[in-house]
Structure 1
Amino acid sequence: MLVYITKKSGSGPPLLLLHGNGETHELFAEITTKLSRHRTVYAIDSRNHGQSTKNVATSYQAMCDDVAAFIAVLQLEDVTILGFSDGAIIGLLLGLAQQPQLKQLLLLGLNLTPADFKPAVRALLQLEYRQTNDPLIQLMLEEPQIELEQLTTMTIPTLIVAGENDVCEPVFFEQVTAVLPNAQLLVLPGETHSSYIEHTDRLYPNLLPYLR
């Protein structure tokens, strides 16, 4: 079972917020109020996170299927996905599945495979997994396995967002954007993987053109 919150101000098409690994919908607590000025916001806890079902098998495809089922059950149309990190992977998988209800993707801090991480980032994840045996860390070390060539057929409008000092090298985000048929890249100067998520004033103004 997925647990989610809804924040609606006036009217607007649905905007689904998908958090990163080990986080909850509270990641977006600050920005949700502002986003709800333009969209009907649904902030979801992924499986094995927050208040959603625990101790179930976890893969990015399973989490993608959860969100697809969520969209179907609520009969949502013209959906925008705003996904951060793991949430960006889930959003991309939804786009690759050509979900007809999707309107656009806003993908923040994306990676296609664990090999895309900078070596120092991979080393830290490997150390953390050895110390904790956390299946969510294991997930990041083993998945996803998306080929760059798979992106060539995904025509949904997509915004790729990255921090200048993200967990992947800048050239990775440039390659992803170049391969996608209908994508733009936004690199936020001086930001890390998550710093711009935590500081709404750095992210929200850059999203506005895609929410109007």
Structure 2
Amino acid sequence: MKKYLIFLVLLIIINHQSYAQASAPMSKYGSNRDNGKYITIDKIKVYYETYGQGTPLLLLHGGLGSIVNFEKCIPELSKHYLIIAVDSPGHGRSSQLDSLSYPLLSTYLSQFIDLLKLDSLYIMGWSDGGILGLMLAAERADKVKKLIAVGANTRVDGLSEEAIKWIKSDLISWAKENTAWSKTYLSLTPQPEKLTTYLKNTQKMWLTDGYFPQSKIVSMKIPTLILQGDRDMIKLEHALEMHRSIIDSQLCILPNTSHSVFDEKPELMNEIAINFFNSTK
């Protein structure tokens, strides 16, 4: 059971190598002040970095994560698009929030798109970022032209039973006891004293059901790619359900791959993303 929980942690929590920086140099992504800026939304400072040029591609990281999640993909993707990698409110270098919910984060990101005056953009989101990408695609079809949602779920029961059990019983203690994760998190956040509140808010958000109603899923009209590993904590049946519910969608299941697709197969993810976004269909 202990070995399984360790494996499950690697599926649930963000790209484990991105956080193994306690003994390695910090990634320049997420800490690149030459490319980084802050924008204030409703008194919350939101941090983001930009790279490259071309059609804007908004990268949305996973839960308990940050821009660092995409460190292996940004170099190649920035050769093709204007990469806008953002730390969601409450994450990375952005200001903490009193509470967390997918609708709340989606509202902030929608305002972020408007404040940056992005008239047309692509989105690629992973895990929580995939969920937020789905929300933005449904609510801001005036701006979002294509979406890749990676390792996303729209309901709690889209997760495996083991994942749900782990979130309920072990998430908070794991984060506090995991030196690599906590050191990286505390080195980024402007409000380290709010760690416990942040973890409790994350746990509550992950376990709140009905955060993205089916009516919004079926209303989506933009080209969408639903993607995940065949060993993801997201049930394959749930990914298939999302694909069937979205009119103009494709489904991609990567073999021998867990939730950490951007860590395990970054070159393949880049190839898939470039092919999808550049396609005329």
Higher Rg: 2
Contact between 1:109 and 1:193, CA under 8 Å: does it hold in 2? yes
Counterpart position of 1:25: 67
Q: Say whether 1:84 aligns with 2:88.
A: no
Q: Does 1:153 align with 2:219?
A: yes
Q: Distance in 2 between matches of 1:118 and 1:58?
A: 22
Work out the CA distance in 2 between the residues paired with 1:130 and 1:203. Answer: 30
The match for 1:102 is: 144
- Normalising by structure 1, report the TM-score: 0.93
Whether 2:47 is the aligned partner of 1:3: answer yes
- 2:189 is the alignment partner of 1:123: no
Q: Deviations over 1:43-80 (max 9, x none)?
A: 00011111001143221111111111111011112211
Counterpart of 2:237 in structure 1 is 171
Q: Distance in 1 between matches of 2:239 and 2:119?
A: 28
**Match for residue 47 of structure 1?**
89
1:115 CA displacement:
1.5
Query: Between the two proteins, what is the percent identity of the paired residues?
Result: 26
Matched, 1:73 2:115: yes
Q: Aligned residues, how many?
A: 209
Q: Which secondary structure state, in structure 2, belongs to the residue aligned with residue 165 of structure 1?
A: coil
Maintained 8 Å contact 2:99/2:201:
no
In structure 1, what is the Cα distance between the partners aligned to 2:147 and 2:211?
19
Which one is further off, 53-62 or 70-79? 53-62
What is the match of residue 197 of structure 1?
262
TM-score, with length taken from structure 2: 0.71
Which residue is 1:186 aligned to? 252
Worse overlay, 43-52 or 134-143: 134-143
Taking only aligned residues, the RMSD between alpha carbons, in angstroms, comes to 1.6
Q: Is the 8 A contact 1:25 1:50 kept in 2?
A: yes
* Deviation at residue 149 of structure 1 after TM alignment: 4.0
CA contact (8 A) 1:2 1:66 kept: no
The one-letter code matched in structure 2 to 1:117 is L
* Long gaps (5+) in structure 2: 1-44, 177-198
